[in-house]
Amino acid sequence: MKSMKLRVRINKQTSRVKLEGEEPTLTELNVQIREILLPSHGLSPDTEFTLSLNGADVLSDSGQTLSSCGIVSGDLVCVILPPSVAVPSTASTPCAAPAPSARQAVPSGSPASSAAFAASARQAPSNSSSSTGLYQAVHPPAKRSSEASSTSKGAEPQQEVVREEEQEGEAGRWVWEPMLCGEAEGGKVPHSLEVLYHQAQSSSTCDALMVAVHLLMVETGFLCQGSEGRPGEMPAGWRAPGGLYRLQYAHPLCDDSLAMVLAVPMGPVLVINATLKMNQQVETVRKLSLKHSTYVTDQWTGDSAAAVYTELRKLSRVFKDQLVYPLIASARE
């Protein structure tokens, strides 16, 4: 039986949820959050809440499937609580003693730095060996505490919830534990972006922006063709002569389909065209124009990706909502 695994964030604590079935609905997710997650966070099941993918735009529940909302396995869903709801003390939550912080800086020349590439938090299903290997290669196991899964009335016995306590310590301008570009804030960038940026040896602002675009594709589960076994590197040939950028991807959830991403600088704008091919036929074409000065600073020649990139959260939202999610939705129709 197919299932969808999601990450659900409540009060800065992230839990994993597994929904059984071919097409789980937003209603089923709401029920599991209300009956299982809220009590596990010390909140009443009657607590009012809304769901959002970006922490701002609310998902209205009309019984639609999660896939129709653009949600795929591995996505992070935020639970928005009313301001009147106090944040429960973490001391009251039954869990193991917190482990030492997993956010530790690693020298750029060390083996861990060269191998680490935080790719797809939206990883493919567990039966995809290539996707699993990629995720394990780039996401070293973070220190975390877990508790046994709990079930309640109406909940499927096989549904599991694993609490992941976030470590609050910070070191350096990037974080070691898995982090999405859409979660970047306070001058922090994902370690995967730091590794990619240094490996790419960007020679222009468009180069730097294309590195971030590639990471956003990988975050949503796309597997770049031609970069197998090298998760910390840009694929060979990504910069073509004449200033053209060319990347090709496959997605474990989109059988027999290939996504070709072509980008060309046009003055202050990087024009990106994404084409979805299924059975050698073009099915969908999406176009997006990004002003590179909005997302890449004039310090793009610097040593730190944190100084190079800006507005990563906005870039993630715009790129995924306007280009990536429509491609996935078209491939799964």
Strand-pair category, 161-164 with 76-80? unpaired
Q: Where are the alpha helices (DSSP H) in 161-286?
A: 191-200, 205-219
Strand-pair category, 281-291 with 269-278? antiparallel
Q: What is the pLDDT of residues 195-222, one digit of tens each?
A: 899 888 888 999 999 999 999 998 888 8
Average pLDDT of every residue of the chain? 73
Check residues 147 and 221 and name the one with the higher pLDDT.
221
Q: How confident is the model at residue 4 (pLDDT cuts 50, 70, 90)?
A: confident
Q: Give the mean model confidence (pLDDT) for residues 51-79.
A: 85
**Burial annotation 213-247 (CB, 10 A radius, 16+ → b, else e):** bbbbbbbbbbbbeebeeebbbbbeebbeeeeebeb
Q: How confident is the model at residue 231 (pLDDT cuts 50, 70, 90)?
A: low
Residue 74 has pLDDT above 70, yes or no: yes
Could you confirm whether domain 1-83 is CATH 2.60.120.10?
A: no
DSSP per residue, 278-322:
ETTEEEEEEEEEEEHHHHB-TTTTSS-HHHHB--HHHHHHHHIII
The Cα 17–Cα 128 span in angstroms is 19
DSSP per residue, 195-207:
HHHHHHT--SHHH
| 176-332 and 1-83 share a CATH fold | no
Residue 132 has pLDDT above 90, yes or no: no
DSSP per residue, 70-89:
T--TT-EEEEEPPTTSPPPP
Hey, what CATH topology would domain 176-332 get?
A: Protein Transport Mog1p; Chain A (3.40.1000)
Neighbours of 198 (CB within 10 A): 17
The residue extents of the domains of the chain are 1-83, 176-332
Q: CA-CA-CA-CA torsion for 142, 128, 71, 77, nearest 10 degrees?
A: -10
Residue 179 has pLDDT above 60, yes or no: yes
Q: Identify which of 130-139, 184-193, 206-215 has the greatest average pLDDT.
A: 206-215
Q: What is the pLDDT of residues 104-120, one digit of tens each?
A: 333 333 333 333 333 33
Nearest to 33 by CA among 22, 211, 52, 23: 52
The Cα 29–Cα 52 span in angstroms is 12
Say what the pTM is.
0.49
Strand, helix or coil for residue 331 = helix
Nearest to 49 by CA among 92, 4, 10: 10
Are 4 and 73 in contact, with CB atoms under 8 Å apart?
yes
Strand-pair category, 174-175 with 189-190? parallel
Residue 319 has pLDDT above 90, yes or no: yes
